[in-house]
Structure 1
């Protein structure tokens, strides 16, 4: 029987002291679901070839399913900005006209509210939804939310006014649980050093979803028939149907955990579980622990990570909601703007994949890589701000360069996946991070004021640049904190060798600050 005595564990501030209790395999209440399988297979060994075969099976099954969910989910969420260009704003009366200084001015306040209300819905639902996702199979929840998104997309076509679209888009915000769920699911299947590339591929679904979504949008607006006078409705009919189909596929084929993987043999399941011991982040614990949830808010890393989360969402939602308007402000027609926005998504895809590959090659330099991908975006935003409107090539170049910050999202998510342990703490952290993203998403559209289109939206560019600077500073502080904590733990373990050496501690559902064997990834 595996027995671990924590009674002599030293105080290692700024890392927490573990609970003064004994945890045994015989008393598994609140421990990781994977513990029993790990104990059953603790005398087994396997070859590198066997592990490669297991990893290959996982990659071929889990990555495509998560990628599919991300592509469809983002294609649907970004459609609102382009639907606005093709009749949605007029049909739902999301604008008002006023006279300013003797000239007719367009007030887009209602559109801004309808674009931002989704983020508030996301913020309202995160803690409850992620709490339920801990109690239920994460794969089922992921698929159900995609079906839910597809249904709401279809219902969008029956909205006729501002009140109806506001209500629908508020509840659509609940689908923002998909991103944190994707990170939680990633931790269940891959080692820390394997996560950046897989997360990069999954997150690339965001940018590819934008490309596919733009293609769908472009084809949809050329359809005739019932909605020929409201072409934006075809966008939601097509994307909503795709969301329903994708959600059903994911519900049927995405396993809850490696312990229930239908595509692995019993021995391969044990290998899939035991190979993750080195992560020290566990796989899945169904008992929610309020102590862990509270500890999440006492962890300095949460607040540093929240800064970039807010920044990314601010910039991402602003571009997705006002990207079409931004390109039309260069002097292009709505249809031409749709085509010219495609390379921006392509640049984002390249940066995301590149960031995943770099993170896989240099797994302990994730913060540096994240900062490197932010810097070109700052240059792009400066170009959009300071370039004259008659320099269309430079403006488009600035727009395309400004999307390189998507590469930093891969490193950001891989830091979340690698550096937060304890399932309830992970749930609280992911919910808080998603709420910050929701608040950033709500704030973004307000910085891009309709009456500033002729000036390159200076308020929006200044706000974005300021937030990027704050993100870089937060990452530097995070690097210092992680380094200090790792050095202090190493020194303490040298003083007391043998503490926390049992490999089964990986499945005791300890937080990253309780487990002395845990090391933060930089």
Structure 2
């Protein structure tokens, strides 16, 4: 029966001048516990302990069966609610709230959708403003409490949508709805608490699949809700929010009850299993959780080149994603399909996204050193798909549908993007600021996306939107190439530095001392 120890346990702490090696309690007394990771005490107590591969596998299974489903369903509900706005627009929301203006241009009647664009984009603007406001408190509160509360918040605002009657009311609600976008960075922060770096891509893939599957399931729910009559006959779009809002409330309450704060407080693990769950993450060098915000760490995030390169993709992805979710229905009707038919035909696009996300997660697990390469491989087909949507003759419905479906492959790159964030940002305060910054950039991209898709260009397939999307995807590929070069350079620097130093100077407990990736000489960037 084989035994396992933390990957960094082969490095022993040097004894002091009297030949004495510090005990765990003596080590802890030498460290300012306010500065260290919450997991340090557990790691010190478990230093030198061994466990079998079977024990670790059992712990991993328990974590997978409890944490992944909650994050997956939360992601599914959050995105299904966001997707609902795009389809509610096709079935009466725009007319009920007067989100359009009829104009006569050149003797023809033209629908000006600027109000709808603003209502669609304001959610992302709220998300950009709300990230830091919510992620800072999240550092001091239990992860399960924050995550569950945000999902409940989504449900409440979804239900409140049905009482909105005009442009100003829906604008205010959609702005505050944007605060719910903190669910995605919270999911990544929680992921780092539970899984090794090499295990993260597959789990992140399952969680993010909730986004795409949320679109697929949400479309099915939307289609069914539109068949309901009763209190909202003639305003069928309201049933969409009744169903989805109710589901969100249920999932939020479930998350409050089930999702633990950290592995150290996991109700479903025994004391020994909690120790294994913590100590096995030592090789990540990214820590688990720290309740004290360190301003030096937070500010250092803005001096890190990788943050800006990752922001480019975040902006580009959100730009394309929100444009598709808000204008996907209108894009399909521009092919000549009816509103109901457009709803059905949008479902394969979501299915393609789900397959790409899961495939990207599996590839990331199989080839952990090629995350950037995998990300670029999923962006390239999307470039072709958007090019087809732009240049394909408008009477070629099959070709246009094919282009739309191919254009969603870029969802696979999001898995690797979040895997890079999870694996390459250390220091909890820095992690908080980076996730807030990345998500704020995503929100700004989402705010910009709908404006590129102009209502009077529907017959031409929204050429301005396609050009903007193609340009941003190309910029993302360039940013990823530069990121690969940066990570390679930094790793080579670390190897050269440690090659000149004795191994004994590196304490394996540095993994839980809440040190940033740039300050920790043992840290290696995953690519």
Q: Tell me which interval the TM-score lies in, with the shorter structure as reference length.
A: over 0.9
Q: Are 1:4 and 1:24, in contact at CA under 8 Å, matched by a contact in 2?
A: no
Q: Are 1:79 and 1:213, in contact at CA under 8 Å, matched by a contact in 2?
A: yes
Question: Is 1:458 paired with 2:471?
Answer: no
Question: Is 1:41 paired with 2:43?
Answer: no
Of 100, 124, 138, 2:129 maps to 124
Q: Take 2:100 and 2:504, find their aligned partners in 1: how far apart are those partners?
A: 64
C-alpha change, 1:388 and 1:25, in structure 2 (3 Å) is farther
Residue number in structure 2 paired with 1:163? 168
Of 184, 198, 206, 2:203 maps to 198
Q: Are 2:286 and 2:425, in contact at CA under 8 Å, matched by a contact in 1?
A: yes
- Aligned pairs, how many? 505
Of 335, 338, 349, 2:340 maps to 335
Of 403, 408, 411, 1:406 maps to 411
Deviations 1:416-472 (A, max 9, x none): 000000000000000000000000000000000011011111000000000001000
Of 383, 387, 391, 2:392 maps to 387
Q: How far 1:500 moved relative to its partner?
A: 5.2
Of 284, 294, 311, 1:289 maps to 294
Q: Tell me whether 259-268 or 41-50 shows the greater mean CA deviation.
A: 41-50
Secondary structure in 2 matching 1:78:
helix
Secondary structure in 1 matching 2:51:
coil
Question: Is 1:63 paired with 2:68?
Answer: yes
Residue number in structure 1 paired with 2:443? 438
TM-score by length of 1: 0.95
TM-score by length of 2: 0.95
Residue number in structure 2 paired with 1:319? 324
Question: Is 1:83 paired with 2:82?
Answer: no
Residue number in structure 2 paired with 1:109? 114
Q: How far 1:24 moved relative to its partner?
A: 6.0
Question: Is 1:355 paired with 2:360?
Answer: yes
Q: Are 2:28 and 2:41, in contact at CA under 8 Å, matched by a contact in 1?
A: no
- Structure 1: segments with no counterpart, 5+ residues: 6-21
Residue number in structure 2 paired with 1:516? 521
Q: Are 1:500 and 1:517, in contact at CA under 8 Å, matched by a contact in 2?
A: no
Deviations 1:40-89 (A, max 9, x none): 11132101110001001100110011011011111111100000000000
Secondary structure in 2 matching 1:285:
coil
Residue number in structure 2 paired with 1:19? none
Q: What's the Cα RMSD here? A: 1.3
Deviations 1:274-330 (A, max 9, x none): 000000000000000000010000000000000000000000000000000000000
Q: Take 1:393 and 1:43, find their aligned partners in 2: how far apart are those partners?
A: 63
Q: Take 1:357 and 1:84, find their aligned partners in 2: how far apart are those partners?
A: 36
Q: Take 1:4 and 1:230, find their aligned partners in 2: how far apart are those partners?
A: 73
Q: Are 1:156 and 1:165, in contact at CA under 8 Å, matched by a contact in 2?
A: yes
Secondary structure in 1 matching 2:110:
strand
Q: How far 1:27 moved relative to its partner?
A: 2.4
Q: How far 1:389 moved relative to its partner?
A: 1.2
Deviations 1:391-438 (A, max 9, x none): 000000000000000000000000000000000000000000000000
Q: How far 1:138 moved relative to its partner?
A: 1.4
Q: Take 1:445 and 1:356, find their aligned partners in 2: how far apart are those partners?
A: 29
Q: Take 1:138 and 1:49, find their aligned partners in 2: how far apart are those partners?
A: 28
- Structure 2: segments with no counterpart, 5+ residues: 1-11, 16-26
Q: Are 1:500 and 1:516, in contact at CA under 8 Å, matched by a contact in 2?
A: no
Q: Take 2:505 and 2:364, find their aligned partners in 1: how far apart are those partners?
A: 28
Q: Are 2:329 and 2:339, in contact at CA under 8 Å, matched by a contact in 1?
A: yes
Q: Take 1:246 and 1:297, find their aligned partners in 2: how far apart are those partners?
A: 35
Q: Take 1:113 and 1:23, find their aligned partners in 2: how far apart are those partners?
A: 54
Q: Take 1:107 and 1:97, find their aligned partners in 2: how far apart are those partners?
A: 6
Q: Are 2:13 and 2:505, in contact at CA under 8 Å, matched by a contact in 1?
A: no
Residue number in structure 1 paired with 2:19? none
Q: Which runs of 4+ in 1 moved over 3 A?
A: 2-5, 22-26
